[in-house]
Chains A and B, each alone.
Chain A
Amino acid sequence: MSKKKRWLSGPYVLWMVIFTVVPLGVVAYFALTDNITGAFTLQKRANVGSYLPIFLRSVGLSLVSAVICLLIGYPVAYCIARTKPSTQRLLYLLVMLPMCMSFLLRTLAWVALLEDTGILNTFLGKLGIGPLPLIRNYAAVILGMAYNYLPYMIMPLYSVIVKIDHRLVEAAQDLGCNSVQVFSRVILPLSLPGIVSGVTMVFVPAVSTFYISQKLGSTGTILIGDVVESQFKGAYNPNLGAALSLVLMALVFVCVGLMNRFTDDDGEEIVTI
């Protein structure tokens, strides 16, 4: 270990201070000042409270989609981890690939699938059913979130499950566990770190999304991301936008902090390609 080498981090630390830490300070500054006079104010921010229902809706929808991702993702990750290594690599790649493709266009494809005159309803129409209201509702928004962020769930789950030593399973069987007990007493506790990081990786982008809800939802499903976006790109009020961002950030950090209490992970590992 060399103390001199620490200085190699210098440029990086400087960069991160200027472009990560300082900007958060700027957000806080904007959040606490008036958009016209520039004076410090808390009064103008009192209306942040009126966005509570939208916050709650965002958290609710993204939690539901995170749980759905977990329920769908776990068996898939488990299945991939139990195939032979060459198949594992191929399947892992197939999970990764959608993440590299434009998520805007993929979400748009769901619009085409779910619309009243879309592919599914056309198909159902030929069977004499429908048209069903598949879009512009909560379910469609949850579907969009779950679809978009499912790979973020499968990847960390897979990398944890694949590392579980199969001898542990055999040891559990040897000690009298049936297959359900093997799962609940050995495999599930050991995959907890993957569950935590998967849920976090789905929840964070989902709670702050502003595109999925615009395309698949309606005016009744506006999320907090939409409100923030409109403060910067539509009704220009960066101070309110900054205040809402600050609340959003605090919310995410509290949730991530709570999740991380389940594991003693040092957070220095990530899923790599």
Chain B
Amino acid sequence: MRRANRIFTAAVFVFLYVPMFVLILSSFNAGRDLAVFEGFTLIQYAELFRDEDLLRLLLNSAIVAVLSSLIATALGTMAAIGIHNMRGKLRSLVMTMTNIPMTNPDIVTGVSLALLFTFIGGLLKTRNVMGFVTLLIAHVTFNLPYVILSVLPKLRQMDSDLEEAALDLGCTPVQAFFKVVIHEIMPGIISGGLMAFTMSLDDFVISYFVYGPRFVTLPVEIYTFTKKPLHPKVYALFTVMFLAILLVMVLMNVLQARDDRRRKAGRSH
């Protein structure tokens, strides 16, 4: 039974990874057709690094992802502390609001923000309201709940006496936060921020409704690419990103393993 389950699980992993290997393999394909492998080449990588437009798009995505995740992390951590100190109806009201972007389909979030921005644009009498700012606002909006929902459990797990102990020993509330509380909730802040970053980097649906022609991100451009035949250098880009994300994840895995070990060592006494 257990053996059968392992084989099944292995098969599911193959299912998850086959499409990605098709793409990676295609980046080394001399031909243009995904279906036929016509010989090994690295020319797509050379093309990729010569293509300033594509790299520009990647940079745009990175800028939005970094900025929006940083803003969301700061704002969200503050908010989480506030929510942690709320009870009853107020708390559930704020949590409901937090859950709206989590529960709402992305397309509805995108459409609602697009209509808001158009509406404001109408008030300001500008036609081209969509651009970097609208994109950034949208990304911060859908990133915020991820940060809050990963910082809140850490606040809850934290011994609330720790903060009082810091106050007791002469810290002002601000000092108590930066000298004690932040150390306790840091894993939550980091994982929330990273999650926000990856969500933002890969977001297509919401960006698609609020981007402007002056500032386009990579996923949005890929969508417009895919309406026509795709240039194989995009597969090369995919492969590079695959490796980059793999690297980041392995790193995080190692860090987390170390953290777990430390924690276990603390408990065993």
Chain A residues proximal to chain B, CB less than 8 Å = 1-3, 5-13, 15-17, 19-24, 26-27, 30, 72, 75-76, 78-80, 82, 85-86, 89-90, 93-113, 115, 117-119, 122, 147, 150-151, 179, 200, 204-205, 207-208, 210-211, 215, 225, 228-229, 232-233, 238, 241-242, 245, 248-249, 252-253, 256, 266-270, 272-273
Tell me the smallest distance from the CB of A115 to a CB of chain B, in Å. 7
Q: Is A253 in contact with B81, judged by CB distance below 8 angstroms?
A: no
Smallest Cβ-Cβ distance to B86: which chain A residue? A6
Give the distance to chain A from B218, nearest Cβ to Cβ, in Å. 8
Are A98 and B16 interface neighbours, CB within 8 A? Answer: yes
A110 touches B223 (CB 8 A): no
| Interface status of B170 (Cβ within 8 A of chain A) | no
For window 68-107 of B, CB contacts with A under 8 Å fall at 75-76, 78-79, 81-87, 90, 94-95, 97-107
A93 neighbours in B (Cβ, 8 Å): 249-250, 253
User: Would you give the shortest CB distance from A90 to chain B, in whole angstroms?
Assistant: 7
A75 to B100, CA, bound (A): 31
Which one of B20, B26, B173 lies within 8 Å of A101 (CB-CB)? B20
Contact indicator A205/B19 (Cβ below 8 Å)? no
Could you list 11 A-B pairs, sorted by A, with CB under 8 Å?
A: A100-B249, A104-B226, A105-B235, A107-B19, A108-B226, A115-B35, A122-B35, A151-B16, A210-B107, A238-B115, A272-B188
Bound-complex Cα distance A80 to B226 (A): 35
**Residues of chain B at interface, number, CB under 8 A:** 99
Q: Indicate which residue in A16, A106, A200 contacts B144 across the interface (CB closer than 8 Å).
A: A16
Kindly list chain B residues whose C-beta atoms are within 8 Å of the C-beta of A22. 116
A21 to B9, CA, bound (A): 42
Q: How far is the CB of A148 from chain B (nearest CB, A)?
A: 10
Known contacts A76-B12, A249-B105, A270-B146, then 18 further A-B pairs from the complex at CB < 8 Å, ordered by chain A residue: A2-B85, A9-B86, A16-B141, A27-B108, A89-B253, A98-B16, A100-B198, A100-B201, A103-B204, A104-B223, A105-B222, A113-B22, A204-B103, A204-B105, A215-B226, A245-B111, A268-B149, A270-B149
